[in-house]
Amino acid sequence: MEYARSVQSPNAYWGEQAKRLHWIKPFYSVKNVSFDPENVSIRWFEDGYLNVCENCVDRHLANNADKTAIIWEPDSIGAPRLISYRELHDEVCRLASGMKALGVRKGDRVAIYLPMIPEAIFSMLACARIGAIHSVVFGGFSPEALAGRIEDCGAKLVITADEGLRGGRCIPLKHNVDAALAHPGISTVSHVIVMRHTHGEIQWNDQRDVDYQALTRSASPDCAAEPMNAEDPLFILYTSGSTGKPKGVLHSSGGYLVYAAYSHERVFDYQPGDVYWCTADVGWITGHSYVVYGPLANGATTLMCEGLPNYPDETRLGEIIDTHNVSTLYTAPTAIRAFMAKGDAPFRDSRRSTLKIIATAGEPINPAAWNWYHDVVGRGQAQVIDTWWQTETGGVMITPLPGVDRHKPGAATQPFFGVCPQLVDNEGHEIEGPGEGNLVITDSWPGQMRTLWGDHERFVQTYFSAFPGKYCSGDGARRDEQGDYWITGRVDDVINVAGHRLGTAEIESALVAHGKVAEAAVVGCPHDLKGQGIYIYVTLNQGFLPSPEIHEELRQWVRKEIGPVASPDWIQFARDLPKTRSGKIMRRILRKIAANEFDQLGDVSTLADPAVVPQLVDARVNRA
Ligand code: 6R9
């Protein structure tokens, strides 16, 4: 069996799969890994050299130069832009030359804060071409969040656009960059490349700002691809953890690309000629691996949509599928639920007969949404593929495989090739057979993150200390009688809002930075559309009384500090929060109250003041 071979002989298996790429200098060593907490070290193909951009672009020129690499659908209905591999090569090389002229060198960090336009892909690939490490920041993050990421990685260059467009709304990206760079503590950025996209009005700083089109028009279309060691970093992508500031997840060049490309082919049954559409924003890992790197490494046609697939209305999704003969659709359960809420009617005008695979990722999919996706979007004919993975894993980890039909709405089912999942109890003992526990991975796979940027100690602490010798995913899972995995969600203080990962600690620290807030506790709460919503408990400083004005002020404050992605759904003012005698906030109780499950609060006798609980229940703001 192929799976057994992949986990029993990882060297032979992955050595074989890595041949799909072009190596400038071949590797002899495949896997060199230690999960020992004293010395965590993850290396794949470590003596090989390659260039990721060359693999995603140049390699396809010989036979497929005129093939469409990118189909771009604008926010409002209008002419799509088609970009061939030849054009992609030209665009990427010009930008790479321009970046070099601005002094960007191998190993430098480049922050990319762009909307979903082809220039975002050009920018990522141009970085890869010259060996610069990109860090894409989602356009829904605020100037403060952007500043934190730029500062942490010490970016030399920022690439942005005047404005982004999403569902008809303008996002002032350049303005946000200006605000971010005004932060004290940011001293590394020498230039900002600005793509004129909407032609909206922006401030211009002659010393620092560079016009994207002017730069690339005058730059050389020849730019040699830098030979990179397989273990040289390709990108940093910040993600929320259960504590502290966002973590800079670092991915490699060789192992990451092998895994992204191979998983793209197997999970989505990619065949030459397929048109592949992943709706994720390139600001998230799904966009990195399955809008950009996986599909382009396979020479696929990748469809990129600037805005929302339900804008101007719900018929847009089917229209795009029919127009471009899309064979694979990859989206998030939150999007499926939003469509489902509007009913089947918008799907009567499209055929969607080319769809073979309809996949999801990002959060658990509820069976009702799974069935609707299968019956309506997929017309009962396309296979639903529910993929579990994380920013840290680089690619899909647990998934049904096409053709292996398992009609199990809500189950991610089986490990992908080379992936060794295990369930352990809180003491770290393995749970065998059917059962539920913490989901860990016992051995490495090529797409695994290598470290946290600038903080290897935190990397080891976060992922390898809870269950020594095993990668701790932070998710819980159940395994059924057939050995299929059902992801139950985060077991830590991370919440998943509309498929976006947010740390409750981050939101809490934003709140307590507000002058009127004494204390704050943030929990996730079931939300019909978003999966989880953000429920906030705040106590105000002396002299301030709860009011609709303060409510709105705090909502706007969180949006400003973190970004619209972290928009609070419920805010409850509280006189006091439930705490243990040592002063720890009991979030377990707050989660139950928020979810209207106050009959299941469990033992509250260990609280310093149990009387706060009935007060909180009385004043709850999410009444069922
Ligand atoms: C790819 C991505 C990771 C977290 C992960 C888990 C949740 C992702 C899921 C899923 C249930 C699935 N998650 N896929 N939960 N079923 N198919 O989303 O990465 O943004 O890092 O989020 O998302 O909780 O730990 P990321």
| In the predicted structure, residue 179 carries a pLDDT above the cut 90 | yes
Residue at token pair 């279309």: 221
Residue 223's nearest CA partner among 334, 352, 89, 115 is 89
Q: How far is the CA of 362 from the centre of ligand 1 (A)?
A: 4
Condensed to tens digits (0 to 9), the pLDDT of residues 518-536 reads 889 999 999 999 999 999 9
- CB of 486 within 6 A of ligand 1: the answer is no
| In the predicted structure, residue 37 carries a pLDDT above the cut 80 | yes
Mutational pocket test of ligand 1: of 251, 291, 293, 389, the residue with most ligand atoms within 8 Å of the beta carbon: 389
What are 498's two structure tokens? Answer: 């509309």
Q: Could you tell me the maximum CA-CA distance found in the chain, to the nearest angstrom?
A: 74
Q: How far is CA 591 from CA 458, 501, 520, in A?
A: 27, 17, 14
What is the amino acid identity at position 386?
D
Condensed to tens digits (0 to 9), the pLDDT of residues 387-413 reads 999 999 999 999 999 988 778 999 999
pLDDT-based confidence at residue 245 (cuts at 50, 70, 90): confident
Q: How far is the CA of 109 from the centre of ligand 1 (A)?
A: 26
User: Chain centroid to CA 138: how far?
Assistant: 9
Q: How far is the CA of 389 from the centre of ligand 1 (A)?
A: 5
pLDDT-based confidence at residue 599 (cuts at 50, 70, 90): confident
For 501-525, give the DSSP string: EEEHHHHHHHHHTSTTEEEEEEEEE
What are 476's two structure tokens? Answer: 């819980």
Residue 63 CB coordination number (10 Å): 10
Report helix angle 504-512 to 548-561, nearest 10.
120
Residue 357's nearest CA partner among 336, 383, 339, 379 is 383
Question: What is the predicted pLDDT for the residue at 602?
Answer: 80
Question: What is the predicted pLDDT for the residue at 607?
Answer: 83
Give dist(CA 231, CA 44) in Å, integer: 7
Question: What is the predicted pLDDT for the residue at 26?
Answer: 98
* pTM of the complete model: 0.93
Mutational pocket test of ligand 1: of 475, 490, 497, 530, the residue with most ligand atoms within 8 Å of the beta carbon: 475
Closest atom of ligand 1 relative to the 387 alpha carbon: 17
- Least confident among 60-74, 221-235, 346-360, 603-617: 603-617
User: Chain centroid to CA 219: how far?
Assistant: 32
| In the predicted structure, residue 623 carries a pLDDT above the cut 90 | no
What are 506's two structure tokens? Answer: 């981050």
Residue bearing the CA closest to ligand 1, atom 7: 363
DSSP conformational letter for 364: P
| In the predicted structure, residue 601 carries a pLDDT above the cut 90 | no
| In the predicted structure, residue 149 carries a pLDDT above the cut 80 | yes
Question: What is the predicted pLDDT for the residue at 598?
Answer: 84
Whether 383 contacts 357, CB under 8 Å: yes
Q: How far is the CA of 184 from the centre of ligand 1 (A)?
A: 34
Q: Report the sign of the C-alpha dihedral through residues 89, 92, 98, 104, in that order.
A: negative
- Pairing relationship of beta strands 357-361 and 301-305 according to DSSP bridges: unpaired
Average pLDDT, the chain: 95
Helix/strand/coil percentages in the chain, nearest 5:
30, 25, 40
Better-predicted residue by pLDDT, 509 or 573: 573
Condensed to tens digits (0 to 9), the pLDDT of residues 308-336 reads 999 999 999 999 999 999 999 999 999 99
User: Chain centroid to CA 183: how far?
Assistant: 26
Q: How far is CA 74 from CA 71, 81, 125, 205, 339, in A?
A: 10, 8, 21, 29, 20
Once rounded to an integer, what is the mean pLDDT over residues 347-353?
Answer: 96
pLDDT-based confidence at residue 455 (cuts at 50, 70, 90): very high
